[in-house]
Amino acid sequence: MNHPPVSRALFDQIMVPNYAPAAIIPVRGEGSRLWDQDGREYIDFASGIAVTGLGHAHPKLVAALAEQAQKLWHVSNVLTNEPALKLARRLCELTFAERVFFANSGAEANEAALKLARKYSADHFGPDQREIIAFTPSFHGRTLFTVTVGGQPKYTEGFEPLPPGITHVPFNDLAAFAEAISDQTCAVIVEPVLGESGVISATPTFLQGVRELCDRHKALLIFDEVQCGNGRSGHLYAYMGYGVTPDILTTAKGLGGGFPISAMLTTTAIAASLNVGSHGTTYGGNPLGCAVANAALELFSAPELLADVRRKHAVFMAGLRRINERFGVFRELRGMGLLLGCELAETWRGRSREFIKAALDECLLVLVAGPDVIRLAPALIIPDELIEEGLSRFERAIARLCAQPTP
């Protein structure tokens, strides 16, 4: 059968309409650049939503994938494999963790963490300690459990009835949290840096207070580092920069540099509650994903790279401040490492997607974090010259927006 060329229009004909992708189709990437079907070159400040933290087609990741692809792709969880064990061992060496569970996505890692917390509570405290506390606004995934924990109505409407036993309090509000937590609380889940919900960092006082109150009430503290982990904050994991250690940590996105893989990290004592048969996943810990993640972890855990991420944060912030001095479109510039948020000024509120489109027209990929925030999440290894060129394209995009008549 002869098919016409693949185009963006084909998406609307054959795909479920839950996404609205941009008009271009990338076909090749190298480092912090992408090329579309027509050969146009784009600078990538999005990294596939903070996933390709080592850029596109990194030679060491490509080599790891190619080597493993010629050996062993899949054995399922009825057998273990060398790449998975090597990756788990290295994650334990580099973090507080003593035990690791592998899955395929951030939502699955969070699902595992939440299930483990409930199971641990059942094993140790009986049937009354079941409540999970989360913070608003936050995002923890799209399974029914994780989307309920995220607490945003726009993601749960139409999917009711929702899982019970979940309480929400405002992010960074320690007083509200202190009032909410009790001896019925089995776990508290928090993003150290809100990713989808505006790129807002937790205050050190807030996280320290949450840790202390969890200890007082014998509740497990879960850090969702799906987006802010794997070097993106300028630390291997953001908890290290805060000096607050969770009981369970979830990681995904940048862990595989673009290959789907996630992990839940915890201690031996807590992990014991996930006994044989209590939880599982067919593809989690597959040799291909773990081989790539081993190579990625070696790169993004290097102290020199992490220090450079912190330096590049300052380069970005200086450039964004220069742009804002000219146009005044941002109310606040914030973030940590190479996860940056540009909150729109009052007159531009609700129009973040217009900035995405304008940037794309200037051959620059950026993200939103809600209707009022532009999010930048470039590769951790992006060179300074591409930072400056990308910011120049961003400035041109903003200039064009500002030149348009007010709607």
List active site positions: 139, 224, 253
- Answer whether 84's CB lies under 8 Å from 285's CB: yes
Q: Based on the number of CB atoms within 10 Å of its own CB, is 144 exposed (0-12), middle (13-18) or buried (19 or more)? A: middle
- Answer whether 199's CB lies under 8 Å from 373's CB: yes
Helix and strand counts by DSSP (H, E) for the chain = 15, 17
Q: Which residues pair with 42 in a beta bridge?
A: 34
How many of the other CB atoms lie within 10 Å of CB of 69? 12
Does residue 287 sit in helix, strand or coil?
helix
Nearest to 246 by CA among 110, 351, 105, 352: 110
| Residue whose entry in the numeric block shows the structure tokens 């300074």 | 384
Q: Which residues contact 82 (CB under 8 A, 6 or more apart)?
A: 287
Q: Hey, what are 275's tokens?
A: 């006994």
CA dist 142 and 156 (Å) reads: 9
Ramachandran quadrant class, 135 (left: phi over 0; alpha: psi -120 to 50; beta: rest): beta
Q: Based on the number of CB atoms within 10 Å of its own CB, is 159 exposed (0-12), middle (13-18) or buried (19 or more)? A: exposed
Ramachandran quadrant class, 22 (left: phi over 0; alpha: psi -120 to 50; beta: rest): beta
For the stretch 360-381, what's the b/e string if a residue is b when 16 or more beta carbons lie within 10 angstroms of its beta carbon? bebbbbbbbbbebbbbbbbbbb
Residues in the chain: 407
Q: Which residues contact 172 (CB under 8 A, 6 or more apart)?
A: 135, 200, 202, 203, 206
Whether omega for the bond prior to residue 59 falls within 30 degrees of 0, making it cis, is no
CA dist 237 and 191 (Å) reads: 11
Q: Hey, what are 314's tokens?
A: 């300052």
